[in-house]
Structure 1
Amino acid sequence: MAPATRSVVLRLDDLALPPRYLTVASDLPLSHLLRSLPLPSSSFYLTSDGRPFPPSAPVASLPPSASLQLRLRALRGGGGDGGSTCAESRDCYLSMYLAKKPDKADPNEARLSRFTCCALSGEPLAAPAVADRLGNLFNKEPLVEALLHKRLPKALSHIRGLKDMIPIHLHPKPGAADEEVRFQCPVTGFEFNGKSQFLVLRGCGHVLSVKALKEVKTPGCLVCHKEFEEADKMPINGTEEEVAALRQRMEEERGKLKDKKDKKLANGLSGSKHAAPAAIADTEKLENGKKGEAAPAKRYKAADHAPAYANKKVYASIFTSSNKSDFKETYSCRSLPLGRN
């Protein structure tokens, strides 16, 4: 006679697995239902309708509903005897996972921001706009204000004054006044969003795409036709190598300018034209008088400086210090000298 069988539904919700529908002999233990699950017996227990069942109980002891739920036991610290709770370790793990990690910046958004916003204030680029000698873009007004109040960040310490700013001309994109990308190349129509390489001509300040200057071979600007040299091309928001080359060029130009000023100052001091006033005064003292004596001061006379074809006496009479009047004041009119009425 064949042994009696039972249909059992084994629910595995704690393992995130679908339920299993089994038909087994009634005299087999419940652990037979779990032989396909690689779980130690101490890590789970079985319940049916809220009642716990030991794994050694026979299948026949299940209620008629024959629905069995597998439950995982909560993890305990140490050997399970209560001597070690591992509370500190759990707290460390909770702190690690609950701590908010900083969001990674989207490189595409960062690139777009460098081409559409001022590198200092973060405001949208608008005329008048300028570029520094490293290819960064700014709105001129906040940059000048920061220079006047000495509020430039350390990263922009290479900007020392207006001479380090290059006025640029951005070509507006038609119908894009309210869009984020509002400028484009006037020749190719490429949007000024960082996806294409752009450069500024230092002589005229027009901003063009690199492809436009490659395709159109001309010694002049494609907008204003002003001639430029290869050294006048300055990349905008270039790569690290391009920025390093621009920085080296900036330092070289400043060094040459400093040497030129020092040479001009040295040449000026060696000649009498730019000599110090004190040195000229000492020379005049030695020529006009004896050594160690100051030359007598020459008295100013208005008649000696009269214009051509002018009467020296009349010209000198204009100045009160040159006209010694012999008139005396009268009792009746002190302000009107006698003989002038």
Structure 2
Amino acid sequence: MRNYNLKKFKILELLSQSSFISGEILAQKLEISRTAVWKYIQALKAEGYPIVTTKKGYTLKPTSDLILPEKIEQALKKQKIGLVDKVYYFRSVSSTMEVAKELAKKEKNFLVIAEIQTSGRGRLGRSWLSNEGGIWMSLLIRPSFSLRESFILTYLASLCVVKALRETTQLPFYLKWPNDVVFLKNEEIKKVAGILLELKAEVDQIEYAIIGIGINVNNQISPLEPTGISLQELTNKIWNRTEIIIEIIENFEKYSQTTSEEILKAWKELCLTLGKKVKIIKPQEELIGIAIDIAEDGALILETGAPSLVKIYSGDCIHLRTT
């Protein structure tokens, strides 16, 4: 849970807005003593915030970018977005998905964000390296539609992310089936973000859905992930993660009020997979063909040369070069 009160949040907000700020000015703005400021600063340092004390005052390390949960809550409240009731922020957790499952027992709709995940997960239980500087978050919602319609949530999430990144960076990000946000660099596909969906349901009624979102923003990409790339690596600048998160949630609110058909239409317009020759890898088989469309039920439609088209609901997708 967040380990700082509103005074700590205000200090972080002021630090993020200034190159240097003295203890005296902080004390004046917060209407507390300089001793109280010093205690708050020490507590924030102990929690891992990159605050540096200098002769000019306090400052954040130049490469740091703080996620400010209260700022996210304030922005969503101002925009009258009811999708998220509360934002939970952690310095380090095993997985935001696991935290969300625990919080689901007492909370309704919320967002869980962590600076670091020690056991982050991607699709099919694969590990997801989640070091400091990225966006690692899980959104828990309680949708009113049936389990059969839940497929749209993955498309909705990846669409909201790609739209947010395009809007924020003005760069041409795209979608790759089934759930990746990617960038084309020298005709090579580089993964920027991924989506993970978990549901709790009984019969055909969804109790809740947890949408996990991982985005490489200002974090270092491991050499073990050669297909990954971060926004910082692409642009050589530090990006404001708080603003990106707000943009994503605003997109969720917008597209959640549309139909599945409209979501799929917008998704397909930004998809690199459709029209491409692909290899689909499933646990028991591999299929090669042309990805021609997304069906109404969310399946990828594959033309393999067989008499009938094949519908693919899950699997790894590899784009093949054509000669």
TM-score band, normalised by the shorter chain?
A: under 0.3
TM superposition score normalised by structure 1: 0.22
Structure with the larger strand share: 2
Higher relative contact order (CA 8 A, sep 6+): 2
Greater gyration radius: 1
